[in-house]
């Protein structure tokens, strides 16, 4: 880049101005220019950083560590957990009493019942699961007595809840589900008899208790069916299988009340 060409006169003036600035002495000829220089010097003095600021500026700031992507990590963990739960539920579906995943299977079934919102469908679902307990017992083979006792206990619990639910639905509607309950009870009684020879001696009493429970379920369904045409179907009392049928003669209307004369 070419330097500007100054005339001798201009060059002389600039040199003289520079000497005046360096000397710091006032000069009427350059009073305006010197005022500007003084203002610039004051501005520069005000903005000069102190020693601590200089040291801070000289020190390189540490690189900021990348923040962990918490959201992505949470999503990844959730996906892994869901996958693990899905695999666990799938494997637990074939579990039998005595195996570690059997409680997972029962918990999954409880959830499925909770997601069934129709009363009749929920009751049928409970009885279906009760029947599946006998399927599990058939797969036990020569298992220990404890596993059989666990299986019979789960069967009994499912029978009780299922029968209570179905009789409640039946007595509040037309009673048709009671016929299905009788058929179901007869079928489970036959299945319990079939697995009898395979039940270990230590679980024989539990086996008999399940047989008695199924027999009671069938009798309860029959007794309630016989009362469906009556004015009073249930007694107002209940037991482990639900509502107890009313006793006494069957009437299709409420008993007449003799008028009482009022004096």
Contact by Cβ (8 Å): 50, 65: no
Q: CA 159, CA 129: separation in Å to the nearest integer?
A: 9
Contact by Cβ (8 Å): 162, 123: yes
Mean pLDDT to the nearest integer, 32-43: 57
Note the pLDDT tens digit of each residue in 45-100.
Answer: 555 556 766 566 566 555 555 555 555 554 444 434 434 444 445 657 789 898 99
Q: How many CB atoms lie within 10 A of CB 99?
A: 16
Q: CA 21, CA 16: separation in Å to the nearest integer?
A: 9
Nearest to 168 by CA among 110, 123, 116, 113: 123
Structure tokens at 215: 């027999």
Mean pLDDT to the nearest integer, 243-257: 79
Gyration radius of the chain over CA positions:
47
Note the pLDDT tens digit of each residue in 174-218.
Answer: 999 999 999 999 999 999 999 999 999 999 999 999 999 999 999
């Amino acid at each position: 880049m070419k330097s500007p060409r100054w005339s001798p006169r201009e060059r002389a003036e600039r040199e003289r101005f520079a000497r005046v600035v360096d000397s710091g002495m006032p000069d009427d000829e350059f009073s305006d220019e010197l005022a500007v220089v003084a203002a610039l010097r004051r501005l520069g003095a005000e903005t000069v950083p102190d020693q601590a600021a200089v040291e801070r500026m000289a020190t390189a700031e540490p690189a900021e560590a990348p923040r962990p992507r918490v959201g992505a990590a949470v999503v990844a963990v959730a996906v892994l957990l869901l996958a693990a739960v899905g695999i666990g539920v799938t494997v637990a579906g074939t579990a039998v009493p005595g195996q570690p995943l059997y409680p997972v299977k029962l918990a999954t079934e409880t959830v499925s019942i909770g997601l069934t919102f129709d009363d009749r469908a929920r009751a049928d679902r409970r009885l279906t699961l009760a029947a599946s307990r006998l399927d599990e017992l058939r797969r036990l083979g020569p298992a220990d007595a404890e596993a059989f006792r666990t299986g019979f206990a789960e069967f009994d619990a499912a029978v009780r809840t299922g029968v209570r639910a179905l009789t409640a639905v039946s007595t509040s509607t037309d009673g048709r589900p009671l016929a299905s309950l009788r058929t179901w009870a007869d079928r489970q009684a036959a299945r319990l008899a079939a697995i009898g020879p395979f039940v270990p001696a230590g679980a024989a009493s539990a086996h008999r208790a399940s047989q008695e429970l199924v027999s009671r379920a069938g009798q309860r369904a029959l007794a309630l069916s016989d009362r469906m045409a009556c004015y009073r179907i249930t007694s107002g009392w209940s037991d482990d299988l639900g509502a107890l049928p009313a006793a006494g003669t069957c009437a299709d209307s409420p008993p007449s009340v003799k008028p009482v004369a009022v004096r």
